[in-house]
Structure 1
């Protein structure tokens, strides 16, 4: 059996996540991108303890003239009060931008500001605040978001939701290419929807190894509603002084939009042939489900208004996808409950529970979506469908006893875990185990056949990280040409709802056995 597009949940033999990349402290880089200014303030008197070295470019005052000054002398009273209200200790707050107008040497300099309250200091990010374009006015954006939201609500599936998002977000933002990719259980990302200019590379359906978005970068998406790189060709700007005088440590830039980007990621963008990028997380049940990735061939810096609209859309899509996935799960659980009820009736009306499980209609095969099943109980073996030989079943049970599995257990890569099963991978690359009496080797076993999968990668995942001889510096792969990998010794993945149904059934069988014996 062959399936050209491997499903999201397939288990790969190799883990492409990178512990090395994931260990780099991205939040302590002490560098920012140059399209804004960053202040570190003392929370008591709002004195400037640190400032990015590009401050003079924006404020027409040298860094040394700013350090030690209270920021209140540059702000009108009303805005100072607003700033102080943003610093009020009210627990977690959404990062909502607001306007600050600095008065310096008689000139008014308008900025959009973000405040990040830390325990020992306050961070303020400033970006110049040009008058928004007509299409980015509140009313225009509100109307567009309402329209896109109505389309998303009508979408019948997760796939439809994701395709609408990328198409409409491309129209809204003007980015050259927008991808939505979903993480698999091993943190590789597969592109499930795409909207792009004709001359941009096509990544639809391709997988990207987990090392492209290592753990530390994934974790930062819970602190940042988006990650923007207006141009990859920039010179990072240092904080002055380098060490935060309020903490005597590097300043934690986890929540800062201006935080500089690892050199290896800028090189990655170069290899993608894009100048600007922006990514937004899709977070479902407090888990990172996927990313919206926006690419542009030339430098691009969306306004705060547009960024806020994109952030809102990513939140709306997160909710919509969560709803679609929940609907799918509820529908499947309902179907499985009906099958479970019918099986229970057969269990209690058949001469033996094995007969009720395997010989009725429906049988265990329909409940767990398996191609074969075996019941090993009180020295006897009952089977239905495609199963290993009796001798192979006995050896498999001996292996299971050594694993000490006391509860329902499943794998979609049995040949990789139990080498002897490679002889019968055609019928048992997937295994679900319902222990009845594990110590005595009494089990209900369900089998799924091998499904040979062809995975299309965006570049060779084995070349995702290329280390230099010093073992410290590394580079991303320089080609994203489609690389195909054939995955063997694997069955279709087990759904959580199927395993839940298996555990419910196991409980019912144990209850029946106890009633009969006692």
Structure 2
């Protein structure tokens, strides 16, 4: 049977063992030593390079070749090798004791130690390092990666003195482009040329990551064989980390066709991947001193870090841009529109970050498109092929027809797409479309014919022409960049969040809003009816105090205004207690016209509960009105002194008028007098006393403590709160007997520590803190507790399972939450009470008091 010949194609280069060619370049020599430092291999030029009488033979001890001092230095360097990719260098070493100095590089290959030897040139390494420093300072000035590459090309050519230095950047498809270049005068420019991925075989790319420096000193020189040619395994030595490693004949021919006599490649590795190369060409033999090559390697590594840092800044900018995109989109749909309805609003926001020519959304069977996009029928025809793709992956294509044949139907409107799935089942999508963009790509030679058959027929031969070759690319859109793909992933998450907000939660939100609206309407109806009844009573009773319509209107208007002011104060903070001092000042200001020095208010301030505030508002209004009409405020000299005093039982308000006209008791008692004398005793179960003294009216009103919380002027905390806390604290010592052990479940460490400390100070003997449901349940299995405090929301889980166990065990517990509306959940879970965050020592003391009362 005749075996058909293997076809010659570009994969031949990928299979070529370029690291095991068995030869080195002629500007150095090589010695391979066994583990006990016996000669295993040496290059054919070893004796000539070191001026020896005869070459060493396999099995010769290294002591017969080198001086004792040289062996000591080499042994020390070899001992520092810590991996197969490590290389140690020694500069300016006298190997054989004849005052001829060499530079040596050592690395491990299998079980061998490889020593590469080159003649030393008087160019100290510290000088090379000093040359690198100003170069790096220049790189710091670059504004972006493009500027960074151009500066690096110029600086590296100045350092190495090659005729051409290029920065060659790889694309995602492994083709490359010359993105920066520095040339000697008269040298042809390759800037902007593209090279197919086949120009650099796969195994060469792998070597570029391991061994970042590759020099070819003379394309026309003959390679020096390594003797013996193969080792014990029957294969040539692995020279992956060698600098002297010879060159593949195909690559030599490639450089010859290009007209290059010497070349140098330095890897640019970013994030562990081959990002690009410094590709250097020279049109005559060029052997770089080892010290200069070392400085160039250092430059390359520093440049790689600079690129990585610049790209990192770009990634950070993308993160910020993605966050801004998310925030803008979320703000745009805050009104509750569906995603389809919001599409015209969302598109300009997306367009700023992800340029496109059209956008489509397919949500729950409904399709909508804006701009250059497929029709609904065309999209439905494409949808089965889209559904075959991964459900959680953004699909990017600049040539849809290569992947989806149904896309041919709308190729006149869109050829590229960013397909963003926004659900699993049914499969919904948001798609950004791009139109065709005819592109002209400049290749270094004909990219469609990268190789030619050699003169021997079946040998692969590289192309001979590298002139700029133009290729017009049709049927493609602008490529989606890596940054755009990252933004698309962020956009996908945002769109899913939008859909969840606008679909899954919309029914619950509407139901909740309806329920709240009904409650608000009912409460509003109740309060309005009460107010209307109160106003009707005011009107009816006030008619007896007036002798004219104008006076009647003034009386009723003043009393209604007093009620309105009171309601403003108590509704300003959601129907909460309001300041008595503010009420007095508001009423007084209406009569003294800015001369508030005539009204002196002393003592405590008081926060009055809403149910008592309107009563006091009417009383203060009547008192102030009478003072302005008949008392100390009716002229320009009288004064009014009001003193407020609080104790444990309640609040006392003392009213003293001085300096006005002589006082006479009223001849008849009107509705105003009734309000003053009877409203506080009748409605608040308090006391009221009114004396008509000749020197001025005096009155005293007492309001029970359940309606007031008093604070000394200037204090942040009310006196009522302070006394309440004191009472709780005084009882804390007795709580220790009732509460020996308490379970605290809280996932915030700071809150847990603060709560634990407060509980111990309040008398709880043992407080066990757990941060998760699992840990809390384990604690309940092994420890008995008297009481528990549970944070409802524990990160990604809730404490409902812990509450259920506590309920089964008959252990009372309180719920702590930052949510405002948890009353229903409290009853459902069987909690003894609800603690709203933020809470502190006072609230904890209240829990302990309530627990003791329950026991």
TM-score normalized by the length of structure 1? 0.89
Could you tell me how far apart the structure 1 residues matched to 2:95 and 2:461 are? 42
In the alignment, which residue of structure 1 is the partner of 2:552?
A: none
Could you tell me how far apart the structure 1 residues matched to 2:64 and 2:494 are? 71
In the alignment, which residue of structure 2 is the partner of 1:500?
A: 489
Unmatched 5+ stretches in structure 2: 1-8, 509-855
State whether residues 36 and 128 of structure 1, in contact with CA within 8 Å, keep that contact through their aligned partners in structure 2.
yes
Could you tell me how far apart the structure 1 residues matched to 2:304 and 2:357 are? 35
Instruction: Answer yes or no: is 1:110 the counterpart of 2:101.
Output: yes
Could you tell me how far apart the structure 1 residues matched to 2:396 and 2:347 are? 24
In the alignment, which residue of structure 2 is the partner of 1:220?
A: 207
Quote the offset at 1:308 in angstroms. Answer: 1.2
Higher helix share: 2
In the alignment, which residue of structure 2 is the partner of 1:35?
A: 27
Could you tell me how far apart the structure 2 residues matched to 1:73 and 1:511 are? 80
Q: Residue 293 of structure 1: SS of its match in structure 2? A: strand
Instruction: Answer yes or no: is 1:244 the counterpart of 2:235.
Output: no
C-alpha change, 1:337 and 1:65, in structure 2 (3 Å) is closer
Q: Residue 301 of structure 1: SS of its match in structure 2? A: coil
C-alpha change, 1:469 and 1:175, in structure 2 (3 Å) is closer
Per-residue CA distance 1:324-352 (angstroms, 9 max, x = gap): 12222222331231121111122342321
Quote the offset at 1:61 in angstroms. Answer: 3.5
Higher relative CO (CA 8 A, sep ≥ 6), structure 1 or 2?
1
State whether residues 179 and 193 of structure 1, in contact with CA within 8 Å, keep that contact through their aligned partners in structure 2.
yes
Could you tell me how far apart the structure 1 residues matched to 2:129 and 2:46 are? 34
In the alignment, which residue of structure 1 is the partner of 2:161?
A: 174
In the alignment, which residue of structure 2 is the partner of 1:345?
A: 331
Could you tell me how far apart the structure 2 residues matched to 1:357 and 1:496 are? 21
Unmatched 5+ stretches in structure 1: 1-16
Quote the offset at 1:404 in angstroms. Answer: 5.1
Could you tell me how far apart the structure 2 residues matched to 1:361 and 1:457 are? 37
Could you tell me how far apart the structure 1 residues matched to 2:47 and 2:26 are? 12
State whether residues 343 and 357 of structure 1, in contact with CA within 8 Å, keep that contact through their aligned partners in structure 2.
no
C-alpha change, 1:72 and 1:147, in structure 2 (3 Å) is same
State whether residues 358 and 364 of structure 1, in contact with CA within 8 Å, keep that contact through their aligned partners in structure 2.
no
Q: Residue 87 of structure 1: SS of its match in structure 2? A: helix
Q: Residue 428 of structure 1: SS of its match in structure 2? A: coil
State whether residues 374 and 410 of structure 2, in contact with CA within 8 Å, keep that contact through their aligned partners in structure 1.
yes
State whether residues 422 and 489 of structure 1, in contact with CA within 8 Å, keep that contact through their aligned partners in structure 2.
no
In the alignment, which residue of structure 1 is the partner of 2:132?
A: 145
In the alignment, which residue of structure 1 is the partner of 2:17?
A: 25
Could you tell me how far apart the structure 2 residues matched to 1:62 and 1:249 are? 29
Quote the offset at 1:193 in angstroms. Answer: 0.6
Could you tell me how far apart the structure 2 residues matched to 1:306 and 1:97 are? 13
State whether residues 53 and 63 of structure 1, in contact with CA within 8 Å, keep that contact through their aligned partners in structure 2.
no
Could you tell me how far apart the structure 2 residues matched to 1:317 and 1:64 are? 42
Quote the offset at 1:62 in angstroms. Answer: 6.4
Quote the offset at 1:75 in angstroms. Answer: 2.9
Could you tell me how far apart the structure 2 residues matched to 1:361 and 1:421 are? 22
In the alignment, which residue of structure 2 is the partner of 1:95?
A: 87
In the alignment, which residue of structure 2 is the partner of 1:12?
A: none
Quote the offset at 1:469 in angstroms. Answer: 8.2
Q: Residue 221 of structure 1: SS of its match in structure 2? A: helix
State whether residues 51 and 239 of structure 1, in contact with CA within 8 Å, keep that contact through their aligned partners in structure 2.
yes
In the alignment, which residue of structure 2 is the partner of 1:57?
A: 48
Please give the residue correspondences for 1:293-312 in structure 2 after superposition, counting only pairs within 5 Å. 293-312=279-298
Could you tell me how far apart the structure 2 residues matched to 1:68 and 1:358 are? 82
In the alignment, which residue of structure 1 is the partner of 2:676?
A: none
State whether residues 55 and 62 of structure 1, in contact with CA within 8 Å, keep that contact through their aligned partners in structure 2.
no
Quote the offset at 1:70 in angstroms. Answer: 1.6
Per-residue CA distance 1:16-70 (angstroms, 9 max, x = gap): x9432111111111111111111110112x1111111111221234665443222
C-alpha change, 1:389 and 1:62, in structure 2 (3 Å) is farther
Could you tell me how far apart the structure 2 residues matched to 1:383 and 1:26 are? 54
In the alignment, which residue of structure 1 is the partner of 2:63?
A: 72
Please give the residue correspondences for 1:85-484 in structure 2 after superposition, counting only pairs within 5 Å. 85-88=76-79, 91-92=82-83, 94-99=86-91, 100-103=93-96, 107-132=98-123, 137-138=124-125, 140-245=127-232, 247-360=233-346, 362-403=348-389, 405-437=391-423, 439-468=425-454, 472-484=458-470
State whether residues 55 and 63 of structure 1, in contact with CA within 8 Å, keep that contact through their aligned partners in structure 2.
no
Quote the offset at 1:415 in angstroms. Answer: 2.2
Q: Which stretch has the larger CA shift, 195-204 or 327-336?
A: 327-336
Quote the offset at 1:90 in angstroms. Answer: 5.4
C-alpha change, 1:238 and 1:367, in structure 2 (3 Å) is same
Q: Which stretch has the larger CA shift, 439-448 or 222-231?
A: 439-448
C-alpha change, 1:143 and 1:56, in structure 2 (3 Å) is closer
Q: Residue 333 of structure 2: SS of its match in structure 1? A: helix
Could you tell me how far apart the structure 2 residues matched to 1:389 and 1:491 are? 19
C-alpha change, 1:19 and 1:291, in structure 2 (3 Å) is same
Quote the offset at 1:372 in angstroms. Answer: 1.4
Q: Which stretch has the larger CA shift, 138-147 or 484-493?
A: 138-147
Quote the offset at 1:290 in angstroms. Answer: 0.5
